[in-house]
Amino acid sequence: MPNRSRNGAALTGSVIVLGLLLGCSNSAESKEEGREISATAAPINKTNESKSDANTVNQAKETRPNFTAKANATFAEPWAMTALPKAAEGSIKLLVTQKTGELFIVDAITGKKTPITGVPEVAYGGQGGLGDIILAPDFAMSQAVYLSYVEAGTNTNASQDKGKFGAKVVKATLKGLDTESPSLQGITPIWQQFPKMSGQGHFSHRLLFSPDGRYLYISSGERQEKDPAQDMAMNLGKIVRLNTDGSIPKDNPFAQSDSNPVTQQIWSLGHRNVLGMRFDDNGNLWAHEMGPRGGDELNLIVKGQNYGWPEVSNGRNYSGIPIPDHDTGPEFAPPKISWSPVISPSALSIYQAGEHADFPAWQGKALISGLSSKALVIADLDTANKGQTAQELYRYEMGERIRSVLTIDGQVFLLEDGPNARLLQLLPTT
Ligand SMILES: [Ca+2]
């Protein structure tokens, strides 16, 4: 499919690459010696399996901005990043977690890292360890943060869970933010996965507050066990919704009809491994999840709906055994985008131009980081149509597995995956 520039001239993928390289001041050398890489443009790959081609014309007219990626810091197995409130002009500070259990305050431009002490002990291994971190809605007053991580069972409670694992969410106060020795204090339990399971995969444990700050959403993976996603006595394979103190909102879809507090937490079900959740401008909640062999999904999350896993999926089992497609099960909410081959979506950000408008073409669009795809995927959310459709517009091949993407005040940062992962700032080129 041809890409088109603003004046309608057809461009091939190779011309775009050339344009990118010319836009990068010292592309070839900096790739080897410096900490700067240029994004190579891949041909538009329309992997949305939507039956309709009605949007094809609009898609072809979309302007695709070019950028270079500047590395500002390096981390060992980072998992999540979130922005701190702006303190000084030109300064951007992040909180960054590493799976192995470290938490840093990071100057996103200079790369200066300050470790934060007091992080709870995490069960590192497999896909587990320290997970997400977000600021409380009243952070400016309270300095409170919410943190997710994996906890090992200890057999000290009623259940015999030694050797098993589960995600946990706590609230803590971040003291000494502007000092050289910041710390987490007053750690308070908010939520945990039930039950703990053996194995160390599919924890999900992504955290998000509603736009009004009243509700905490937590994605809870199915722990690679499939069936828990449809089991209402477990909070695995679900997106749960809580009040900020961990209590259950009365208007949750199963809060009145079921007496089990685990069931009452559930907002939506039938999920596999949700690593990205965001609200768009119109208040729609979007979440992407990893499918098995094929069938990664972007879903519009609606209260009480069942998203089908493992009953239906547009992918196949790793064994090769087919799974009925989404369109065979009308009781299950189908994905707005389905990816086969997979992109392995790791994080979701919705672009908003702020003080900086580095990428005006991405206004309101979903930025999705990919692990196996090593890509930044840009998707259109049809917010004018109340979020009834979505489609991938194009993607950028980044050359490395990308663990996270974050829009801050109109600027875009990526976090690579793995032991020598760079924090990249995307700098627009013309
Ligand atoms: Ca699904």
Would you give the DSSP letter of residue 280?
-
Residue 228 backbone dihedrals phi, psi, to 5 degrees: -55, -25
Query: SS3 of 264, please?
Result: helix
The CA 336 to ligand 1 mean position distance, Å, reads 10
Task: Tell me the catalytic residues.
Answer: 202
pLDDT at 44: 36
Among 237, 208, 233, residue whose Cα is nearest residue 220: 237
Residue 132 in domain: yes
Cα of 349 from ligand 1 centre, angstroms: 20
| CA of residue 326 to ligand 1 center, whole Å | 7
Do residues 230 and 269 touch, judged by C-beta distance below 8 A? yes
Domains contained in the chain, number: 1
CA of 60 to the centre of ligand 1 (A): 28
Residue-level pLDDT at 314: 94
Cα dihedral sign, 168-173-178-179:
negative
The H-assigned helical ranges of 24-114 are 27-32, 56-61
pTM for this predicted structure: 0.86
DSSP codes joined into one string, 111-162: --EEE-B-PPP---BTTBSEEEEEE-TTHHHH-EEEEEEEEE--S-SSS--T
Q: What is the pLDDT of residue 86?
A: 87
* 355 strand-pairing partners: none
The residue to which tokens 């891949």 are assigned: 42
Give the C-alpha separation, 64 to 154, whole Å.
51
**Cα of 334 from ligand 1 centre, angstroms:** 6
Q: What is the CATH number of the domain that holds 217?
A: 2.120.10.30
pLDDT at 29: 28
Q: How many residues does the chain have?
A: 430
Distance CA 150, CA 101 (A): 10
Distance 346 CA to ligand 1 centre (A): 16
**What tokens does 375 get?**
């890509």
pLDDT, tens digit only, all 430 positions of the chain: 333 333 333 333 333 333 333 333 333 322 222 223 344 433 333 333 333 333 444 444 568 999 999 999 999 999 999 999 988 787 899 999 999 999 999 999 999 999 999 999 999 999 999 999 999 999 999 999 999 999 999 887 667 899 999 999 999 999 999 999 999 999 999 999 999 999 999 999 999 999 999 999 999 999 999 999 999 999 999 999 999 999 999 999 999 999 999 999 999 999 999 999 999 988 999 999 999 999 999 999 999 999 999 999 999 988 888 899 999 999 999 999 999 999 999 999 999 998 999 999 999 999 999 999 999 999 999 866 766 899 999 999 999 999 999 999 999 999 999 999 999 999 999 7
Rounded to whole angstroms, the Cα distance separating 398 from 41 reads 9
pLDDT value of residue 61: 52
Residue 111 lies in a domain: no
Cis peptide before 310 (omega within 30 of 0): yes
Structural domain includes residue 188: yes
pLDDT at res. 55: 44
Residue 58 domain-assigned (yes or no)? no
> Is 53 within the bounds of a domain?
no
Q: Is residue 147 part of a domain?
A: yes
Residue 157's pLDDT is what?
62
Tokens linked to 115: 């470790």
152 found inside a domain: yes
Domain annotation covers residue 172: yes
Measure 429 CA to ligand 1 centroid, in angstroms.
37
The answer to whether 427 and 70 are in contact (CB under 8 A) is yes
Neighbours of ion ligand 1 (CB under 5 A): 307-308
pLDDT at 89: 80
3-state secondary structure of 57: helix
| Ligand 1 geometric centre to CA of 427 (Å) | 35
Neighbour count for residue 107 (Cβ, 10 Å): 15
Distance 347 CA to ligand 1 centre (A): 17
Range of the domain at 159: 116-272
Q: Are 120 and 136 in contact (CB under 8 A)?
A: no
- 27 beta partners: none
Q: What kind and span of H or E run contains 18?
A: helix 13-23
